[in-house]
Amino acid sequence: MSTWTDNLTMETMAKERANPPFDVRKMSIEHHGSESDLVKKEKFMLEASRDPVFYSADIYDLTKDQIRERTMQRIQRLAHYVTSESVDDFQKRMELMSLLDPGLWTRLGVHYGLFLGAIRSGATPNQFSYWMEKGVIACQGMFGCFGMTELAHGSNVAGLETTAHFDAQTDEFVIHTPNLGATKWWIGGAAQTATHCSVFAQLIVKGKRYGTKTFIVPLRDPKSFQLLPGINIGDIGKKMGRDGIDNGYIQFTNVRIPRAYMLMKHTQVTRDGEVREPPLQQLTYGALLQGRTAMVADAANTAKKALTISVRYAAARRQFKSDAKAQYETQILDYPIHQRRLMPLVAQAVAFGYTALELQRLFEETSQALEALEPGDPNLEATIEKLKETHSTSAGLKAFCTWATLETIDRSRQACGGHGYSSYNGFANMHADFAVHCTWEGDNTILALQAGRFLISAYQDALDGKEQVSAGTKYLNNIEQVLAAKCESDEALDTLDGIDRGWATVAAHAVKKASEDYQACLKA
Ligand X SMILES: Cc1cc2nc3c(=O)[nH]c(=O)nc-3n(C[C@H](O)[C@H](O)[C@H](O)COP(=O)(O)OP(=O)(O)OC[C@H]3O[C@@H](n4cnc5c(N)ncnc54)[C@H](O)[C@@H]3O)c2cc1C
DSSP conformation letters of 301-364: HHHHHHHHHHHHHHHH-B-S-SSTT-SSPPBGGGSHHHHHHHHHHHHHHHHHHHHHHHHHHHHH
Distances (CA, A) of 19 to 15, 22, 24, 239: 8, 8, 10, 45
| 423 touching ligand X, by CB under 6 A | no
148 contacts ligand X (rule: CB under 6 A):
yes
Nearer to a second copy, 358 or 443 (CB): 443
290 makes contact with ligand X (CB under 6 A): no
Closest to 122 in 3D by CA, of 479, 370, 312: 370
Identify residues 5-24 at the interface with a second copy (CB under 8 A).
6
Instruction: Report the distance separating Cα 511 and Cα 215, nearest Å.
Output: 41
Instruction: Indicate which single residue of 52, 418, 520, 523 sits in contact with ligand X (rule: CB under 6 A).
Output: 418
Distance CA 503, CA 492 (A): 12
Given 41, 77, 134, 239, the residue binding a second copy (CB under 8 A): 239
133 is catalytic: no
Residue from 137, 350, 384, 446 binding ligand X (CB under 6 A): 446
Which residue type sits at 105?
W
Residue 440 found at the interface with a second copy (CB under 8 A): yes
Residue 439 in the binding site for ligand X (CB under 6 A): yes
For residue 213, give the 3-state DSSP assignment: strand
CA 274, distance to chain mean position in Å, is: 37
Q: Is 8 helix (H, G, I), strand (E, B) or coil?
A: helix
Among 89, 329, 358, 461, binds a second copy (CB under 8 A): 329
Least distance in angstroms from the C-beta of 316 to ligand X: 11
CB 424 within 8 A of CB 322: no
Q: Which of 337, 496, 520, 521 binds ligand X (CB under 6 A)?
A: 337
* Coil, helix or strand at residue 167: strand
Q: Could you give the CA distance from residue 220 to residue 477 in angstroms, rounded to a whole number?
A: 55
Q: Is 416 exposed, middle or buried (0-12, 13-18, 19+ CB in 10 A)?
A: buried
Q: What, of ligand X, a second copy, none, does residue 236 touch, CB below 5 to 8 Å by kind? A: a second copy
Whose CA is closest to 342, among 243, 415, 395, 258?
415
Catalytic residue chosen out of the listed positions 150, 365, 441, 491: 441
Binding partner of residue 102 among a second copy, ligand X, none, CB under 5 to 8 Å per kind? none
Which of a second copy, ligand X, none interacts with 452 (beta carbon under 5 to 8 A by kind)? Answer: none
Nearest to ligand X of 141, 417 (CB atom): 417
Distance CA 45, CA 86 (A): 17
In angstroms, what CA-CA distances link 430 with 103, 355, 415, 423? Answer: 11, 22, 15, 9
Q: Is 515 among the residues that bind ligand X (CB under 6 A)?
A: no
111 vs 431, beta carbon nearer a second copy: 431
Tell me how many residues contact ligand X (CB under 6 A).
Answer: 32
- Closest to ligand X by CB, 107 vs 512, is 107
Q: Are 257 and 173 in contact (CB under 8 A)?
A: yes
The only residue of 47, 85, 443, 461 in contact with a second copy, by rule CB under 8 A? 443
Known catalytic residues? Answer: 441
Binding site for a second copy (CB under 8 A): 1-2, 4, 6, 60-61, 63-64, 149, 152-156, 159, 161, 178-182, 185-186, 209, 236-241, 318-320, 329, 336-337, 341, 406, 410, 413-414, 417-418, 420-424, 427-428, 431-432, 435-436, 438-440, 443-445, 449, 521
Binding site for ligand X (CB under 6 A): 110, 146-149, 154-155, 186-188, 239, 242, 247, 317, 319-320, 332, 335, 337-338, 414-415, 417-419, 421, 436, 439-440, 443, 445-446
